[in-house]
Amino acid sequence: MNIAVVGTGYVGLVSGVCFSEFGFNVKCIDNNVSKIEELKKGIVPIYEKELDKLMSKNMKAGRLSFTSDMAEGVRDADIVFIAVGTPSKPDGSANLNYVYGAVDELAPHMNNDAILMIKSTVPVGTTRAVKRFLLDKGFDIEVAFNPEFLREGAAIEDFMRPDRIILGVESKKAEEALKRAYRPLFVLSIPIVFTGVETAELSKYAANAFLAMKITFINEVANLCENCGADVQEVAYAIGLDKRIGEQFLQVGPGYGGSCFPKDTSALNDFAKNFGVDMPLVEETIRSNDARREKMIQKIMSVCDNDVKNKNISILGVTFKANTDDMRDSPSICIVNHLIEKGANVKIYDPSFSEQAKRIFKNVEWNGNAYDNCNGADVVVILTDWAEFRAINLADLRCRVKTPLLVDLRSIYTVHEAKASGFTYHSVGRPFLNG
């Protein structure tokens, strides 16, 4: 089977590489010519565990190639996946220009028997609208929808062993083609759910909104803990043991960010209104998550007596979560920029050495490890829960800082550990124990 994937971002590149690992012939297409040139040399443009090895293995096997020529990329494909971005417009709705741009470009070159599979996250109604768009241009191409649920940082594992595959199809022909494409997972007894296209489209948004609500909920519980004497870590553990709730997405922090939850909650809220439906829970999740960032800024400022001018602030982690270099909508952006605006000397260490972060934060000092980043610091702030920050030798760190103040916005240390190493420790959701 020949597969084409349009868009080589976090989703497209991982999908293309994994489909080639299944044994299919895959062509990955992107209109970013310099990205394609790098990929052809085997250079992976994103931070994703094991992706480089799997990519070069399949390139060497002759199953995986890259091109910026759409015609060459889609000509022989049995299935063309679209994995281009669907960012937010300023009004919160989904920007579908990249999807329609790609469809417009590929349609004249695609084999009419092939299936066009939208993998980008798109509002309910888009798959049918794309079908109509193609018909209006004289192309009778089968269009289906396959939401992607992979998590950055665990993307290959999630693609290879997902909890489920959702396939929104309107014909037996599309169903059969997709059964073939996902057969390697079918054999592993991964549930493959065929639905109508609207159900598949909404399933993606409903899943992301639910997870965003879960994160927001525990952050609100953390606010209460700070005022009532409870410990949010223990509350999260206690409720997470209930199978109806589950332990995942109950980690406190500076609020959700990244390329999906913020834009997908906004888009859901927007297109629900177009169907005449209000979603107050989703609206409140968006509002509460925005307020969370402001609250984190206030927490850091109050630890610094509301004056950070000329203070040395060591930031540990800036990506929106661990194990990715993705900075899209990371809570760190407004937090760090606020500190810079108020005159702080900001030093940053992030284990991904994110190029995106370097483009965002100007006039900061970058360091190659957490210890050097903390030399002479007036305050150390943990913003992202990278595993290596859990294993920092706090006693060693204590010797390097000017003032032993640690603000841990992920609450990754126990209060006892932090205090024992001589730090005054401010975490979230555990106020009365703080040093």
Ligand X SMILES: NC(=O)c1ccc[n+]([C@@H]2O[C@H](COP(=O)([O-])OP(=O)(O)OC[C@H]3O[C@@H](n4cnc5c(N)ncnc54)[C@H](O)[C@@H]3O)[C@@H](O)[C@H]2O)c1
Task: For residue 435, count CB atoms less than 10 angstroms from its CB and return exposed for 0-12, middle for 13-18, buried for 19 or more.
Answer: middle
Q: Count the site residues for ligand X by CB under 6 A.
A: 27
Q: Which of 3, 4, 12, 374 binds ligand X (CB under 6 A)?
A: 12
Nearest to 403 by CA among 433, 424, 428, 419: 424
Closest to ligand X by CB, 88 vs 434, is: 88
The nearest distance, CB 166 to ligand X, in angstroms, is 12
Closest to ligand X by CB, 6 vs 407, is: 6
- The residue range among 83-91, 188-196, 344-352, 365-373 that interacts with ligand X, by the rule CB under 6 A, is 83-91
C-alpha distance across the termini of the chain, in Å: 61
Cα 38 to Cα 31: distance, rounded to the nearest angstrom: 13
CA 193 to chain centre: 24
Question: From the CB of residue 309, how many other CB atoms can be counted at a distance below 10 Å?
Answer: 9
121 near ligand X, judged by CB under 6 A? yes
Task: Name which of residues 88 to 107 contact ligand X (CB under 6 A).
Answer: 98, 101-102, 105
Distances (CA, A) of 183 to 19, 160, 194: 11, 12, 14
Cα 5 to Cα 82: distance, rounded to the nearest angstrom: 6
Task: For residue 181, count CB atoms less than 10 angstroms from its CB and return exposed for 0-12, middle for 13-18, buried for 19 or more.
Answer: buried
Q: Taking CB positions, which residue lies at the least distance from ligand X?
A: 9
- The residue range among 27-35, 219-227, 310-318, 344-352 that interacts with ligand X, by the rule CB under 6 A, is 27-35
Contact 339, 300 (CB under 8 A): yes
Task: Name which of residues 251 to 290 contact ligand X (CB under 6 A).
Answer: 259-260
18 near ligand X, judged by CB under 6 A? no
366 near ligand X, judged by CB under 6 A? no
The nearest distance, CB 65 to ligand X, in angstroms, is 15
Active site members: 260
133 near ligand X, judged by CB under 6 A? no
Give every CB contact of residue 359 below 8 A, 6+ residues apart in sequence. none
Cα 318 to Cα 297: distance, rounded to the nearest angstrom: 14
Residue whose token pair is 């906004």: 266
Closest to ligand X by CB, 148 vs 378, is: 148
Phi then psi for 199, rounded to 5 degrees?
A: -60, -45
The nearest distance, CB 330 to ligand X, in angstroms, is 13
Cα 316 to Cα 296: distance, rounded to the nearest angstrom: 15
Q: Which of 86, 127, 223, 319 binds ligand X (CB under 6 A)?
A: 86
Task: Name which of residues 135 to 164 contact ligand X (CB under 6 A).
Answer: 148, 150, 152
120 near ligand X, judged by CB under 6 A? yes
- The residue range among 26-34, 138-146, 241-249, 374-382 that interacts with ligand X, by the rule CB under 6 A, is 26-34
The nearest distance, CB 61 to ligand X, in angstroms, is 24
* Contacting residues toward ligand X, per CB under 6 A: 6-12, 29-32, 35, 83-86, 98, 101-102, 105, 120-121, 148, 150, 152, 259-260
